Amino acid sequence: MKLLLPLALISTLASCTSWQNNPRPSAELPCRIAPETNRGLAYVSGGVGQVATSSLDVTDDTLNYGGKVVDRQARDYTNIGMNAVRRTDDIVYRETTRYLDYGLDTVDDGASYAASAITRWPAVPTGVVMRGLGSTRKVYQSTVAAYGEAVNRTYWPFWNIFTPPEPKPYMVGSLNDLHPGYALPGSSWHCRLPQLPVEPMVQETAAKNPYTVSK
């Protein structure tokens, strides 16, 4: 290539108009020699351009190949990692919720049992007291009723024997006049002992359970 350029230049100069007939022989340089020079150099620039283009093509294709491979693999492995993270989070959430539910259910069952025991067991001593007082009431009310009936049937009839006759108008200073606020023996003494109210006695069967709490 280096030898072709000088030879082409010499042949071009020889073919031009002779030096004697051409008053400006250097005009041949831009006129005829420049295109030939450019044509010869075009091979060099074409080769250099082809090398540069090929190099850029190789670089472009290589980087494009590497980018596609790296991008795809990076996305695949990233998806693998994110899927593992999501699955792990799902597993942890599920198991945490499961055991928390178990613990809370156990606490709730214990609270239900405690509430039932607190509501039920106080009925045992209060039931004993209620039944004992009921039995005691039967005894003392029956005793008071029997005492009132005995006094009504014996004591007052006994004193009725000694009831004095009604005072006459001429009897001045009788006991009824001297003591108007007291029921002394006489016509005004017709009262009885006050009757205590007696609740009716209900026969309770053995099936009644005083230890249950009415709802």
Specify whether the CB–CB gap between 199 and 137 falls below 8 A: yes
Tallying the residues shown for the chain, one arrives at: 215
- Rounded Cα–Cα distance for residues 71 and 85 (Å): 21
Query: Do both 9 and 91 map to the same domain?
Result: yes
pLDDT band per the 50, 70, 90 thresholds, residue 209 = low
- Tell me the backbone φ, ψ of residue 48, rounded to 5 degrees: -60, -45
Query: Do both 56 and 30 map to the same domain?
Result: yes
Q: What percentage of residues in the chain have a pLDDT greater than 70? A: 65
Question: 60 burial class (0-12, 13-18, 19+ CB within 10 angstroms)?
Answer: exposed
Question: Which of 66, 81, 115 is at the close of a domain?
Answer: 115
Domain count across the chain: 2
pLDDT at 42: 86
Domain that holds residue 156: 126-200
Query: Do both 9 and 103 map to the same domain?
Result: yes
Q: For the chain, what is the mean pLDDT?
A: 76
- Please give the span between the terminal C-alpha atoms of the chain, in angstroms, as a whole number: 119
pLDDT at 31: 80
pLDDT at 193: 46
Span 20-49, pLDDT tens digits: 576 777 777 778 778 888 888 888 888 888
pLDDT at 90: 96
- Say if 208 falls within a structural domain: no
The CA-atom distances, in angstroms, between 128 and each of 61, 116, 122, 123, 184 are: 100, 20, 10, 8, 48
Span 57-96, pLDDT tens digits: 999 999 999 999 999 999 999 999 999 999 999 999 999 9
Query: Do both 91 and 147 map to the same domain?
Result: no
pLDDT band per the 50, 70, 90 thresholds, residue 114 = very high
Q: What is the average per-residue pLDDT within 109-124?
A: 92
- Closest to 190 in 3D by CA, of 170, 151, 160, 150: 160
Question: Which of 87, 115, 143 is at the close of a domain?
Answer: 115
pLDDT at 88: 96
Task: Please count the CA atoms within 13 angstroms of the CA of 8 that sit on its side-chain side.
Answer: 16
pLDDT band per the 50, 70, 90 thresholds, residue 108 = very high
Query: Do both 8 and 91 map to the same domain?
Result: yes
Query: Do both 9 and 108 map to the same domain?
Result: yes
pLDDT of residue 211 exceeding 80, the answer is no
Say whether pTM exceeds 0.75. no
